[in-house]
Chains A and B, each alone.
Chain A
Amino acid sequence: NAGVTQTPKFRILKIGQSMTLQCTQDMNHNYMYWYRQDPGMGLKLIYYSVGAGITDKGEVPNGYNVSRSTTEDFPLRLELAAPSQTSVYFCASSQVETQYFGPGTRLLVL
């Protein structure tokens, strides 16, 4: 199993540009999450999903959108990138309670 995979690993965006961060898991987990990690801060939940077709907001959802059309994929969309979205983004999945994390996407908005 590859576990949780994320693409891209690193991206530089200009202010106002859009992009989609991809996340795929091959463990058939129902629950998937997007977190962001800023320097000196704990990870914060952006959005989560408890199954295909069901998504909900976390602590810091503004400026992001998600969809969950399949069990495997949970893409995160940034519509109008802002410098405040410079961060490292982690996708995670779980079936019961243990969460499995992807390797992260480092995003720089200039």
Chain B
Amino acid sequence: KNEVEQSPQNLTAQEGEFITINCSYSVGISALHWLQQHPGGGIVSLFMLSSGKKKHGRLIATINIQEKHSSLHITASHPRDSAVYICAAPRGGGADGLTFGKGTHLIIQP
């Protein structure tokens, strides 16, 4: 069974700061997921990555498969980035669902 740990649990930063959220998992995986949960509760998938780095706008996700570690970075943070960011890994093989971290509650102050 995969265990997923995220840090920090809570993060408050000023607008414009560079943000890093970390995720580690216990079992080798095919791909790691980063999701965003808006204050209203909706969950959207941001990234799914199996190696290297992916970038979407001001969001960058990296993964080190050997170290079983991934990071989510936000450049030039903005108050609209305030949300809960969740890391998730496959429970096992195939399509049997995800194991989630507890999330990082990010607040960007203007």
Decide if B102 touches A41 in the complex (CB within 8 Å). Answer: yes
Decide if A94 touches B95 in the complex (CB within 8 Å). Answer: yes
A90 to B98, CA, bound (A): 13
Decide if B45 touches A98 in the complex (CB within 8 Å). Answer: yes
A88 to B88, CA, bound (A): 18
Decide if B44 touches A48 in the complex (CB within 8 Å). Answer: no
Among B43, B88, B99, B101, the most chain A Cβ lie within 10 Å of the Cβ of B43
A106 to B40, CA, bound (A): 12
B102 contacts across to A, CB distance below 8 A = 40-42
Residue in chain A with minimal CB distance to B6: A42
When the two chains form the complex, which single residue of B30, B48, B97, B103 contacts A58, counting CB atoms closer than 8 Å?
Answer: B97
Decide if A101 touches B86 in the complex (CB within 8 Å). Answer: no
B41 contacts across to A, CB distance below 8 A = 88, 103-104, 106
A16 to B15, CA, bound (A): 48
* Contact flags A81-92 to B (C-beta < 8 A → 1, else 0): 000000010100
Decide if B100 touches A42 in the complex (CB within 8 Å). Answer: yes
Decide if B95 touches A101 in the complex (CB within 8 Å). Answer: no
For the complex of A and B, the 4 pairs showing the least CB-CB separation, nearest first, are A42-B100, A101-B43, A45-B97, A31-B95
CB-defined A-B contacts under 8 Å, sample of 7: A31-B95, A42-B100, A45-B99, A59-B91, A94-B95, A97-B48, A97-B90
